[in-house]
Structures are given as structure tokens and as C-alpha cells.
Amino acid sequence: MKRLLPAVVLLITIALSAQELKSPSEFLGYELGTRFTRHHRVVDYYQYLSEAAKDRMQLHEYGKTYEQRPLLLAYISSAANMQNLETIREEHLKSTSSMSKSTKVIVWLSYNVHGNESVSTEASMQTIYELLTNKQAYLENTVVIIDPCINPDGRDRYVNWYNQFKNTPIQLNPESKEHNEGWWSGRSNHYMFDLNRDWAWLTQLESQQRLRYYNKWLPHIHVDFHEQSMDSPYYFAPASEPFHEVITDFQRDFQVTMGKNHAKYFDANGWFYFTKERFDLFYPSYGDTYPTYSGAIGMTYEQGGGGRAGLGVITGNGDTLTLKDRIVHHYTTGISTVEVAASNVTKLNEEFQKFYQPKNYKYKSYILKGPEDHLRALTQLLDQHQLSYSYGTDTNVKGFNYKTGKAGSLRTNSESLIISTNQTRGTLVKVLFEPNARLSDSLTYDITAWSLPYAYGLDAIASESLVSKTSKKEDLSKKEVLSTNTYAFLTDWNGMDDARFLAELLQKKIRVRQAQKAFTLEGNRYESGSLIITKADNDGRKNFTKILSEAAEKHHKSLTAVSSGFVDEGKDFGSSFVLMIPSVKVAVLGGEPTSTLRFGEIWHFFEQQLHYPITVLDENTINGVDLSNYEVLILPGGTGYERFMDTLMLSRLKEWVGQGGRLIVMGKAIASLDGEDGFDISAREEEKDSTENLVQPYENLQREEIKNDITGAIFKTKVDATHPLAFGYKDAYFSLKLSSDSYDYLESGTVAYISKDTLPIAGFAGSEAQKKMAKSLVFGVEKHGKGQVVYMVDNPLFRGFWENGKLFFVNAIFMAK
Ligand SMILES: [Zn+2]
């Protein structure tokens, strides 16, 4: 717990009684809703409240954002409850093992996860003020936890932008600049990640720090406050189908109870709203679903407005929507939520306990085997979710085999990871690990498949019985002291730890070679892609073995020292099949042609995952840049390439590639290279639908259209594992396909591809879209002059969670020519 307030202010405020609490307007010096409040002022107000009402409120800084803004949680309840806050928490958590006598209900309200949905944080201030004053009665049996701003970096980006560009007085015309943010909006966090897609994957600092406290409390109710397009009426629970099958009847019913209470206030005021549409409960990484799968009533509330509405705007209906209107709506549902919670304490406690009773799910154990890095990355995620796991014994396990999609078996040993649904949070285990989540309706808001064994590239069995296990894995790691009298050090290449190890060595000017073919030496087999670090290559490098052993320890690598480069089978170290890995200078295109999300994934990957420098070339400046300064240029996916990729740009890129550059082109950027003057890639047109000539009822239109869609489904692809782009992979790769865009195989260099079998292994793909996938490219390399173009039709960096795809991207950057 961190006190933020200077002592002087404390002395002034300590004298204030509860009745004299300042409202947000009084404290800030302007009427709430007449300006946007910058984050540091919001922090000031919460600090003020925590001192002025210290008997009923505690403020806790739970972390900092990438841009060093504080992240806050405000705990409020009656004075009596606040004295026993820790006891209340502990008693509540006992509910997860059915021993609780808790008589309190925990409500968690999260504001402004999307930074430019800027009403939320303003509304949070009014809500906490009312709860501490006029609505105190609700706090007798309720603990309310308020996160005033999940995404302060994004919110301040919006607020600062708005303040710079707003008209005086404000311009209600939506065409004015103040209503049009442009490419880098405040929606996302620093790295342009959507934090409302990150609850399960925890790739971002904000999510990682928040979840630590969320999981300490596991509230009965969680609300995520949002905004949608400015013409939309308010949305609140109940949510729309599809609902994940683990959601209980009570959770469904209580969403209705909640919605009806909100509707009472909205009806009385004549405000418009809708329920049961658009916002479903399926993809597990949202601020409504993750809490739901953790036993809460998890809900999204959406006000109309968002980044376009500013302080006031004329909507499509010709009405004027003001920030004050937006505040009062979010305030109303916030208070109404606490009201419903406070009047259902017994029921909420009973049902929360029921949620955590053993569920006897079909699959009792998930058994996973694979490279150590992949398993380590997965256990780190499990730790963050407080999911327990153990290791296997020497036995054969039968069940559903993820690789074949059929019944099969797997030999387990002490290296195999075992995750059971017979644990407190077994429901979350089921949701994250089951092979294919049952979809009650294919019209959904997001991806329909995410099964972690595929995402982490592991051999896996889902078993219907409890598998025997040991609790502790033998710790085989030992610090290695590397001898200086060695010919070379060898190590494998199959995961992100290897990639980070390489990235660090290259930056420390250690020269590293890569075996282009498998070899055996001194009794060990090394697959193609293995790293070879010879003494001769690094002869002049001071502290060579020290740097090497420190990097190895840091990245969990074990190095094998060999005394000769004369291999038993394969190619000797001096062969042209053992190539030096280039220390490349990498640039990525940013700006309008790209999607902020796709750009952000790359930016984050380099800085926070690989730890390798990257230069951002903006579309506005790239024309003046000498591309020969870079060995690798990445074009992230995006929909603005048609304008960007004119004849001049295309010929420039062709010339640069011809002279030895490597262009990595991803997703929707690829189509811009197709064409007579372009590269060899060839996009496929949409197949003519045989039913297209039939008259379709208008009401079926949306359902008809999804026949052409893939919104996120897992496909099994074939891999040419001999190609350097596929080093570290075997002959199959499970790819998360995010669109029905499809491209023909390349003449040569087709590395990962779909052949004839186009049925997704998990998730939804429309019937027409599936046909289009036959014989299509997933990853490939086209040679052009001295350089190459790497095509990545699917996005291995999508939301940063598809761990097993990342090495393809690393290979694309570093593979030797
Ligand atoms: Zn939102």
C-alpha cells in the first residue's frame, strides 16, 4: 500500500468531516462534464477522497503504466467494514472452497479501459463521491472496488489531443477536427494494444499488474465501462448470444435482474438503451468474460460517444449529445449496479459458492509436452492466473489428441505438464484449454478459437480421467561454467528463449552461426536451425565466454561445448551450410497505411518480448529515408496500403529488395504488392457463391454474409521444415486465421500452407471461406534479386498471445541468406 499524499495536504484535509466532502466539481474547480480531466487531476481527487473519507476509503497504487502513470484501486465500504477489509476478503475467498460465512458482497467497477472512451473516468469520480455521501447505505454490506482508469496512457493521449484541437466554444459539428482523432487514437495503451482483449493473455503491463489484485478479490460483480459509436443508445446487460457453455443459469439470470434495474432508471428518464444484442460472452480475454469465467457477474456497459463525441456533438438523429449526458448515464448504471448487489447479498454469496463447487467437466486433465521454452512460457501464464499444475509420471495417457484431432495417446514423464480441471478455478482451465469451445451462435464479436495447447505449440492430450502426477519437477538447471578451451558452443532453436538469447548475443557483438541442416556430433543430434557459436568467430571478443554464459543463464539456455567442428553426420562448421546470422537493422512502417493494433504488436514484440531495437518509419517521412540503412523493413497489416503503395513506392521497394533488402509483409498489406508491376504474390478473388442468385430474406442478410467470413479459427497447416523460415518447427503448424483473405502458393518458397483439408480444427469458418482456403499460402518467401520478400498471410503476433507463431517472425528477421 502506498500513500501518495504529501503531509501538508493531509493536515488540511484531515479536519474535514464526511458531510463536507467535496464533489468532483468543487474539487476540480469546474463543473464535471465541462472539461476533460487529465489523469493526474483524477489521481489528485482520489487522493483527496482517501484522506477526507479515510474511515471509508483506502487508495492503493497497484502499479505504473509503460509511460509511468500510476494505476489506482479505491476500496470503499462502511467504516466498520473498512476496519476488517482483509478479513472480509479472506472470508469471501473461502467461498471458492465452500466454507465461507461471508455476509458481504464485492463489486468491482473498472473504468476507461479504452482511453478515448473518455466519459468513464469522469463518471467514476461522480460515482465514488455519491457512494461516499448520498448512497452510503449501500456500503453497509458491500465493498466497492473502483479502478478509475485502467488505461491512463491512452486516456491522457485522448484528453491532451482533445484539449489541443477543440474549438472555443466547442463545435458541435461532427466534421470538425475535435471530433476526429486520426490514426493514433487514445483507445489503446502505449503499445497500441487493446487492453480489453488482454485479460486472459496478460501481455501488457497494465493487465499483468491489475490481475494480481483482481485474483486476490474475485469479486461477485465486475463491470467494464465503455463507449461505442456516438449514435448508439446505451447498452447494458443482459448480453447477447453466444454465451460460453460454462456460464451458469444464475449468471445468465442475474444479468437480467441487473438489466431490469437499470432499465427502471432509464425508462423514468426517457433514455434509450438496448440489451441482448451485439456484445456476447464467449472470447475469454474481455473484461466481462474473464470475470464471468471466474465466477462473477461480468458485464460490459456501453455509452454512445467515444472518441468522436468530445464535450458535445450533434448525433445522426440531430440530437445534441454532451459529456454531461454521458456521465449521468454511466453514473446511473454504476450506482444501480451497487444497489442491486447490496440487495442480493445472500443470493450472490450462495451462488458464488455454487460456481466454485466441483463441476465434473468431461476433460479432467490436460497433458502437455514440448520444448522447454514453450512449457516455461505457459507456466508463467498459469502462475499469473493462479492456476495450479503439476508434472507427469512415467505412464501412457489416452484421450483426445490435439495434433490429430482424434483419440490417441501420449507417453508422459517428469517433463510433461499436467493441468487439471479439478482445481479451484477449473472452469477457467476448461475455457482456456479445451480443444474446441462450443459455439451456441456463430455470429460473434471476436475470434472463436484460442485453445492454449495450439497457441503454445505443444503436443497435448485431453484426458477424461485424472492423470497421475508429481508436484515438483526436478530442477535440472545448473549454472554452467564455460571453458575457454572449446572449439564451439551449440544450442537448440525452437522457442522465444532461444530468440532472446540470440538477440542479446547479437547486440553484444557475439557472432553466431546457424546450421542450415541437421547434424550429429559427439553423440548428439542437432536439428536445422541450431545455433553454433565458435571460438574462432569471436576470437577478438573480450570476455567472450563470460558474456555467453551470462546470456545463457538469463535465457534458461544450456550450451553444449564441443571440441571439434568435424561432425559425424551432416555438414561441418566450415561448410556453406553453416551460415553467419546477420546482426540486422530493422525498421517498421507506422502511420495511416497500417492498423494501429498490427503496428503495435510489432513494436511491443521488439521492445518487450525480443528486446531488440527497432526503428519506426512514419509514412510521412519514409520517402526521405535512405532504405539502404536497413536490412529488414516490416509492413504491418492495415487497410490503408492502396493509397500508400503507389507506383513510385512499389518501384523503390523493389529496387531495395533487389539490392539485398528483406521486406516482411503481413496480413492486409500483402495485397498491395500484387499486380503487374508488383511482386509474384497473387491474391484470390472471392469465390462465387452458388446460392448467390437465390433471393435471400433481408433478415437473413447478416447470417448469409458470415459464410464468407473467418473471424479467428485454428487451421492445421503443412510446413516445409527444411526452409530457414521454418527452423524450429516440424512438419505441421496450427495457425490462427483471422480473415478469409487467401493467396496462391508461391512458385518456390511456400513454407507454411493449407493443402486440401480446409476444415478448421477449432473455431468458426464460413462455408464459402473454407473453400477459398484450399491450397493457399500461410507463410512464404519470394526471392527477388539479392533480397527477399517474406509473406505472412496469418499474423503470428496477433494480440501477442500465439506463442508458437513467434519463431516464424524471428526467423523472418534473422534468417541468413
Ligand atoms: Zn470500449
Ligand 1: centre distance to CA 277 (Å): 15
Of residues 150, 146, 144, the one with CA closest to residue 338: 144
Going by C-alpha positions, the residue among 352, 242, 344 that lies closest to residue 296 is: 352
Pairing verdict, β 234-235 and 312-314? unpaired
| pLDDT, tens digit (0-9, with 9 covering 90-100), for 147-166 | 999 999 999 999 999 999 99
Closest listed residue to residue 333, CA positions, set 514, 501, 124, 473: 124
Residue 180 contacts residue 308 (beta carbons within 8 Å): yes
DSSP states along 782-813: EEETTEEEEEESS-TTGGGT-GGGHHHHHHHH
Tell me: pLDDT of 690 over 70. no
Res 685: pLDDT: 78
Res 4 pLDDT > 50: no
Q: How many CB atoms lie within 10 A of CB 655?
A: 14
Q: What is the pLDDT of residue 470?
A: 80
The per-residue pLDDT for 12 is: 42
Start-to-end CA distance of the chain, whole Å, equals 54
Range with lowest mean pLDDT among 130-139, 584-593, 761-770: 761-770
| pLDDT above 80: residue 335 | yes
Q: Rounded distance, CA 779 to CA 809, Å? A: 10
pLDDT band of residue 66 (cuts 50, 70, 90) is very high
Q: How far is the CA of 57 from the centre of ligand 1 (A)?
A: 28
Measured in Å, residue 15 CA sits from the centre of ligand 1 at 40
Of 132-136, 446-450, 603-607, 794-798, the range with the lowest mean pLDDT is 446-450
- Please state, rounded to an integer, the average pLDDT across all residues of the chain: 93
Query: Is 60 exceeded by the pLDDT of residue 83?
Result: yes
pLDDT band, very low/low/confident/very high, at 99 (cuts 50, 70, 90): confident
Q: What is the pLDDT of residue 489?
A: 96
DSSP secondary structure letter of residue 606: I
Residue 228 CA, ligand 1 centroid: distance in Å: 6
Mean pLDDT of 138-144: 98
Distance 188 CA to ligand 1 centre (A): 10
The pLDDT value recorded for residue 9 is 42
Which residue from 194, 160, 166 is spatially nearest to 180, judged by alpha carbons? 166
Rounded distance from Cα 227 to ligand 1 centre (Å):
5
Grid coordinates representing 581 are 546470422
pLDDT of residue 780: 98
Judge if pTM exceeds 0.85: yes
- Note the pLDDT of residue 16: 45
At residue 13, the pLDDT reads: 42
By C-alpha distance, which of 281, 233, 237, 234 is closest to 259?
A: 237
Rounded distance from Cα 114 to ligand 1 centre (Å):
5
Expressed in angstroms and rounded, the spacing between residue 306 Cα and the centre of ligand 1 is 8
CA of 149 to the centre of ligand 1 (A): 12
Q: Is the pLDDT of residue 471 over 90?
A: no
For 431, half-sphere exposure in the C-beta direction (CA atoms, 13 angstrom radius) is 25
Position 653 pLDDT exceeds 90: yes
- Please tell me the distance between residue 186's alpha carbon and the centre of ligand 1 in angstroms: 11
Helix ranges (H only) for 385-513 are 426-433, 452-455, 496-507
- Report the separation in Å between the CA atom of 115 and the middle of ligand 1, taken as the mean of its atom positions: 8
CB 766 within 8 A of CB 757: no
Per DSSP, the chain holds a count of helices (H) and strands (E) of 23, 35
* Grid coordinates of 524: 548428439
Length of the chain as a residue count: 817
**How high is the pLDDT of residue 476?**
54
Summarize the confidence of residues 742-759 as an average pLDDT.
Answer: 95
Q: How far does residue 281's CA lie from ligand 1's centre (Å)?
A: 15
CA of 329 to the centre of ligand 1 (A): 15
Give residue 36 CA to ligand 1 midpoint distance, Å: 18
- Statement: residue 788 has pLDDT above 60: yes
In whole angstroms, what is the distance from residue 425 CA to residue 497 CA? 29
Rounded to an integer, what distance in angstroms lies between the CA atom of residue 382 and that of residue 469?
Answer: 17
Distance in Å, CA 117 to ligand 1 centroid: 6
pLDDT score of 24: 98
Over the stretch 706-727, which tens digit does the pLDDT of each residue have? 888 888 999 999 999 999 999 9
Ligand 1 (single-atom ion) residues, CB below 5 Å: 114, 117, 226
- Binned at pLDDT 50, 70 and 90, residue 2 comes out as very low
In this predicted structure, the answer to whether residue 692 has a pLDDT above a threshold of 60 is: no
Alpha-carbon span 56 to 76, nearest angstrom: 5
Banded model confidence at residue 63, pLDDT cuts 50, 70, 90: very high
Please give the distance, rounded to the nearest whole angstrom, from the Cα atom of residue 237 to the centre of ligand 1: 15
Looking at residue 481, what is its pLDDT? 66
Distance from Cα 445 to the centre of ligand 1, integer Å: 13
